[in-house]
Amino acid sequence: MRAEKIELAKGATCRQALALFVQSATEQIVGNRSVVLETDDPEGAHQLRIGLRRLRSALRAFRPLMDTSATREMDQHARALARVIGELRDADVFIKDIYGPVAGIMKGHGGLPPLSEALTAHRIRKRDAARANLDGTHWSSLQLYLALWPRTLEEVTILDQPVAKFADHAIDAIWKKVAKSGQRVSDLEGDERHKMRKSLKKLRYTIEYFASLYKPADVKPFVRQLKKLQDVFGYVNDVVTAKQLDEISEEHCPESLPCQRAAGSVIGWHTAEAAHCWACAKKGWKDLEKTHRFWR
């Protein structure tokens, strides 16, 4: 279940906008929770993680107006669920996007079958953990906060202001964080790359929420460049995460040197590809930076 496009009415208030944003994210979360619980479709975990991130992005965008213990606790429960769902999503990526392409090149390598079995066993374990959490305390608490959300909104009178002007400030606040990292993108390492990747995601989700307030012809070029840069950061992050293949192969195939060698070869191949991909980050940032910032 993918997120549907958000359409804000002319003259909408921050209260109306935030209610609509949370409702949209909630529908995506609830729908894809069922997919993860009832099927093995990897797209369910992917869309569920997006829904949880969209919920958190909405809460954080309006934090200057609504920073309560209830919203922070709701964010914490969503974050905890997103972490375990993210691990399931990573397990899916290991098989399809990390192992798959290299397996097609290394045909006949004796370590590939046991590595495939190890990755499959790893995914089963992560799926079991995800399902347990989706029936656990964090889910029950998040569900309660979402049920009480309309009453929570009623208590914050500052949300009655027009959303159009607030949207400019909300987008710009995240853009400044992105720009601070972007100015030295070539020098970013490890955690710094990870932080910029998360900031790019927050910027994307926030823009998607407020996009209907602006002219599509102004929004689309910026989002197009943003997506290109996100693709670079996303692949590089996947490769960093994929270094877990060493641990997975050792855990599930402790007696199989071919399996462990295959894991090392897969990681090595993607590490080289990621280095080549990262070389495009500077250009991607420059292209985004020079694109018209429609909210200003």
Q: Cα–Cα distance between 185 and 183 in angstroms, integer?
A: 6
**Burial class for 147, CB neighbours closer than 10 Å (0-12, 13-18, 19+):** exposed
Question: In angstroms, what CA-CA distances link 67 with 12, 64, 155, 210?
Answer: 21, 7, 12, 20
270, 236 Cβ separation under 8 angstroms: no
CA 2 distance to own-chain centroid: 13
Those residues whose C-beta lies under 8 Å from the C-beta of residue 97, and which sit 6 or more positions away, are: 238
C-alpha angle 269-48-62 in degrees, rounded to nearest 5:
110
Those residues whose C-beta lies under 8 Å from the C-beta of residue 121, and which sit 6 or more positions away, are: 252
Q: What is the pLDDT of residue 161?
A: 96
53, 23 Cβ separation under 8 angstroms: no
Q: What is the pLDDT of residue 108?
A: 85
Q: What is the pLDDT of residue 155?
A: 87
Closest CA to 126 of 169, 83, 184: 83
Q: What is the pLDDT of residue 264?
A: 96
- Return per-residue pLDDT of the chain as tens, 296 residues: 999 899 999 899 999 999 999 999 999 999 999 999 999 999 999 999 999 999 999 999 999 999 999 999 999 999 999 999 999 999 999 999 999 999 999 888 999 999 999 999 999 999 999 999 999 999 999 999 999 999 999 889 999 999 999 999 999 999 999 999 999 998 999 899 999 999 999 999 999 999 999 999 999 999 999 999 999 999 999 999 999 999 999 999 998 999 999 999 999 999 999 999 999 999 999 999 999 999 99
For residue 146, what are its two tokens? 């979402």
Q: What is the pLDDT of residue 107?
A: 85
Q: What is the pLDDT of residue 24?
A: 96
In order of their start, the domains of the chain are: 14-289 (1.40.20.10)
